[in-house]
Amino acid sequence: MVSNIVEDADCLTGHTFDYIVVGGGTTGITVAARLSENAHIRELVIESGFFESHRDPEVRNLTCYGRQFGTSMDHVFTTQPQRVDNRVHHINSGNGLGGSTLINGGAWTRPAKAQIDSWQSVFGNDGWTWDELLPHMKKVENVRPPLPSNRQPYDNNIHGDTGAVQVGPFDTGNAESPIIEAFVQVGRDRKFPLHNDLSSGNPRGISKFPLGSVKILVGQFVGKVLFDTTSSVPTAIGVEYGRYRGSHTEVRASIEVILAAGALVSPLILEQSGIGLLRVLSDAGIEQIVDLPIGLNHQDQANTNIVNLPTEDAIGDGQIAFFASLDETFGDLAPKVRALLHDDAVLQQWAEQVVSSGGSQDASALLKQYKNYIDHVENHDIAISELLLDTWGEFGFSVWNLLPFGRGYIHVRSNDPYLRDYDYNPQFLSIEIDVLAQAAASKLARDLVDSGELAKYRQEELRPGLDDVPKDSGIDAWIRWTKSNYRPNLHALGTCSMMRREMGGVVDNKARVYGVEGLRIVDASILPTQVSSHVMALLYGVADKVATDILSDYRRSSETNGAGI
């Protein structure tokens, strides 16, 4: 594939491809690889970053997580000051062939079955169920069974072994820290479920962590999709790309343009192309082609860190995750939380607050999302928080509320796509339940370290520390600390949601953008809700499923037109 990579922006002038894929990340490369199975298909992938092969060892070494932040591989976004703390946050996003797989932690887990099933039953996406998606998630995998030293729980029946993505526990060559087994024992003592494989469709409890004819143009930023508007339905016919407004190039697509630029970039490209809310486009000086709620329903999680100084005999490697239920997360506060979740007036207030702050257009549609979350945690025992214990160089938890009720937005502010002038407001911790859940999960992390076997491996707590949150503090102290010390979890999604149009959807169940022809979106922006999982494995499966639909449409068209298939 390296020989197909070009950096000369002018070399494609006047060219026409069957498909243009915008974005060379997780989903874009997956779709491109699937389309390349048909030798008759001419496709172009355009990636704003580069093919940085010299960084490959660092990318593959998952203990280097975080070192790529702020480098050329990081497409950093800056938020508006957040209401909860008045801080500006920087959102890291992969930039280069490989996308965010270049900079993420390599976690490989799948959502709960009921969460995927709801994409069909609640959001109207026919064909989007766990049973439909699982074969695609398996197809991309080439799973390496765990080494005896890893003791990673593993169910061979739910994994694939012929895909292109190598998946398996990351082996540093070092011994496992005794903290890992101590945490398992704490779980046993508290009667937490001890889960086997976090890809089974039921990610709950404690489990060790598995860390797992195309032309490619790099170094060019796609500014907008080009449309033929002479017919009643606008049709995508290509894209404009470049590095700045005075120097850009157009390239054509005879069949489809496929956006795979991520949850923060794809909505900006659509708005620059004239697809979006009239008020947003008018303010930016862009003529509207189609009215869609682009950039809304943005969902990301907040994250807090509970860090301890380990004892000398705790040295070693390993990660282990606890996917905690509502009762496990909130403890004695669970009855109060349930009362909030079953109070229709409270839910309505939260939904109206999101609408008034620009995260959604329709409170009634948002209430359906809330009710869906509540059904999952109450009736399907789905986790609402994740506590990831890491022993690589420290003894600490990364903690996040998996299912935030808050919603944010991202919009353009200029009609020059190359200025990267945007209004980005994730609205972290803007809803009461989100602050409460994040604080309770953080408190739980300390409580677990205080428990049984884990306590003997801690010398002292470094973060938050007993000065900021004294021992045995109640939830109010944890709320105060959480508001001042959270960071983004970097799991943004939902800004071009796949759901019925009347619910605020942007794409249909085939990932086709409503109101136009020849345009699809295949990235995290189309996921309608957060899930109780890391999203990388899910996104590979989503991309493979949509690619299957694209190939099916291509075959039908080719048969009708008598072209080669």
Q: Which amino acid is at 370?
A: Y
Tell me the C-alpha distance between 92 and 279, whole Å. 28
CA 19, 243, 261 angle in degrees (round to 5)?
45
- Three-state DSSP string of 461-497: EEECCCCCCCCCCCHHHHHHHHHHHCEECCCCECCCC
Q: Which residues pair with 520 in a beta bridge?
A: 258, 512
C-alpha to C-alpha distance for 305 and 338, rounded to whole angstroms = 26
Q: Is 222 annotated as a binding residue?
A: yes
CA distances to 202, 221, 343 from 131, in Å: 13, 37, 33
Contact between 251 and 44 (Cβ < 8 Å): yes
| Residue 495, marked binder | no
Give dist(CA 164, CA 157) in Å, integer: 18
* Helix extents (H) in 357-498: 363-379, 432-449, 452-455, 475-485
**For residue 253, what are its two tokens?**
């697509």
User: How many angstroms separate the CA atoms of 328 and 490, rounded?
Assistant: 24
- Here the tokens at position 172 are 């540093």
Question: Closest Cα to residue 387, out of 453, 327, 443?
Answer: 443
Instruction: Quote the crossing angle between the two packed helices 363-379 and 334-341, to the nearest 10°.
Output: 140
Using alpha carbons, select from 35, 11, 48 the residue that is nearest to residue 242.
Answer: 48
The reply to whether 534 belongs to the active site is: yes
- 248 counts as catalytic: no
Rounded CA separation 77/268 (Å): 12
> What phi, psi does 430 have (nearest 5°)?
-85, -15
The residue from 75, 376, 411, 491 that is catalytic is 491
Residue 165 is assigned to a ligand binding site: no
Output 353-358 pairs: Cβ under 8 A, ≥24 positions apart. 353/430, 353/431, 354/405, 354/406, 354/407, 354/427, 354/430, 354/431, 357/425, 357/427, 357/430, 358/296, 358/408, 358/409, 358/425
In a 10 Å sphere around its CB, with 0-12 CB exposed, 13-18 middle and 19+ buried, how is residue 535 labelled?
A: buried
Residues labelled catalytic? 491, 534
Binding-site residues for FAD sit at: 26-27, 222
Please state the residue numbers annotated as binding site.
26-27, 222
